[in-house]
Structure formats: C-alpha cells, structure tokens
C-alpha cells in the first residue's frame, strides 16, 4: 500500500509559497517599496448632520507622478459644487471651519484660471449633483501626492464639498459658499 502524503506535503508547500508570493505582491501594490507609502486610500464624506455624503478614493499612479481622486457623492443638493482639499484633518460640524483654508503649501492664489497660480487644494472642475442627489467625478492631478511627508501630500488634510460652484478665479475661495460636506484624510500612523 502506497501513501500519498509526500505528494500532499509538496502540494501544501507549493500552496504556501504561492500564498506568500500573492501576499507579497499585494503588500507591494498597496504600499510600494516603502511600507508607509500608500497607493490607494478611501475617505468617507459626511454632511454637517453626520449623514453619509459618499466617499473620495485617492489612488496614486504606479510611477507616483499623478494622483487620481474619484469623488462619489450622495444626499447633497442638486447643482454644481466645488470640491477642495483643506489644510487640517478636522471636520467639526456644523460649519467645518476647523478644516482651515485650502491646502496651499506654495502660498499661491486661488483658482485654476488665476494667472498667479492655484492652491494645491484646488480641483480642476466642479462636481455636478443630479436631481437624484448623487454625482461622481474623477480628478487627475500632478500637483498632489499620497507620499507621507511630501510637501504636497494630501495625508493629514481634509476633503471639502461646498454649497456652490467654484468660479475658478476669485481668491481665496472661488466664491464657493458654505462648506456642506467633509471627510478627514488621515495621516499615516508612524
């Protein structure tokens, strides 16, 4: 009578090696060569009453030269709304003023159409919320990153939705009105 255990043992070893390889690939895809370097981050967004307003997904390109920000919103008023990255990782209701001003490490003026440059926290267009009170947009920018400690990192900031559209030129806020939804972009735990 022949035992099949050696074949089973080889299969288990092969399975463990495969599992380890897949896990290593996953960790590398999520964190790159540096364990603290994120590649994708999902941030919940809430209204001033704490109602779910959607999420923002931050995803860095493989070469780290472009940040994709997909904003999916719900339960918000119909119309055009500005989206900005704000300085502080705080979303205290009801007015979200604790988030500070727009993220602006280079000390520029507001607005993508401003000849003096734009804040790093300025997005290239507004988001449209439809009659069903939902909307989605993806921004692709080369002036923000998920790299911890980088001067242009969004980590340790907040993402803000305003009541009106951004006019893309008026300093310091683009006449976007009150802050109606906010999400904290956490800093990495060190």
* Per-residue pLDDT tens over the stretch 91-119: 999 999 999 999 999 888 887 888 888 88
Same-domain pairing of 20 and 79? no
Q: What are 124-174's pLDDT values in tens digits?
A: 999 999 999 999 999 999 999 999 999 999 999 999 999 999 998 888 888
Same-domain pairing of 76 and 132? yes
Same-domain pairing of 109 and 22? no
3-state secondary structure of 143: coil
Same-domain pairing of 64 and 25? no
- Catalytically annotated residue among 110, 118, 157, 166: 110
Close Cβ partners of 116 (under 8 Å, ≥ 6 residues apart):
108, 109, 171
Same-domain pairing of 177 and 134? yes
Domain that holds residue 145: 40-185
Confirm whether 81 is a catalytic residue.
no
Same-domain pairing of 8 and 89? no
Confirm whether 119 is a catalytic residue.
yes
Domain count, the chain: 2
- Catalytically annotated residue among 81, 118, 157, 162: 162
Confirm whether 122 is a catalytic residue.
yes
Same-domain pairing of 54 and 20? no
Domain membership of residue 190 (yes or no) is: no
Confirm whether 84 is a catalytic residue.
yes
Q: What are 123-134's pLDDT values in tens digits?
A: 999 999 999 999
Same-domain pairing of 58 and 128? yes
Residue 162 sits at the vertex; the CA angle it makes with 50 and 185, to the nearest 5 degrees, is 60
**What is the pTM for the complete model shown?**
0.78
Confirm whether 133 is a catalytic residue.
no
Domain membership of residue 137 (yes or no) is: yes
Same-domain pairing of 136 and 181? yes
């Amino acid at each position: 009578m022949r035992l099949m255990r050696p074949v089973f043992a080889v299969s288990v070893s092969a399975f463990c090696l495969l599992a380890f390889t897949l896990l290593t690939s996953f960790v590398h895809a999520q964190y790159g060569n540096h364990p603290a370097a994120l590649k994708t981050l999902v941030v919940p967004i809430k209204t001033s009453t704490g109602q779910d307003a959607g999420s923002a997904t931050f995803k860095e390109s493989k070469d780290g030269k472009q940040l994709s920000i997909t904003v999916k919103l719900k339960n918000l008023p119909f119309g055009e709304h500005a989206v900005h990255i704000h300085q502080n990782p705080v979303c205290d209701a009801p007015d979200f003023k604790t988030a500070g001003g727009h993220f602006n490490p280079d000390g520029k003026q507001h607005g993508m159409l401003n000849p003096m440059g734009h804040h790093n926290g300025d997005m290239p267009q507004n988001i449209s919320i439809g009659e069903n009170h939902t909307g989605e947009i993806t921004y692709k920018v080369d002036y923000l990153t998920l790299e911890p400690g980088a001067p242009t990192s969004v980590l340790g900031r907040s993402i803000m939705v305003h009541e009106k559209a951004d006019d893309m030129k008026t300093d310091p806020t683009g006449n976007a009105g009150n802050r109606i939804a906010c999400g904290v972009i956490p800093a990495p735990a060190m």
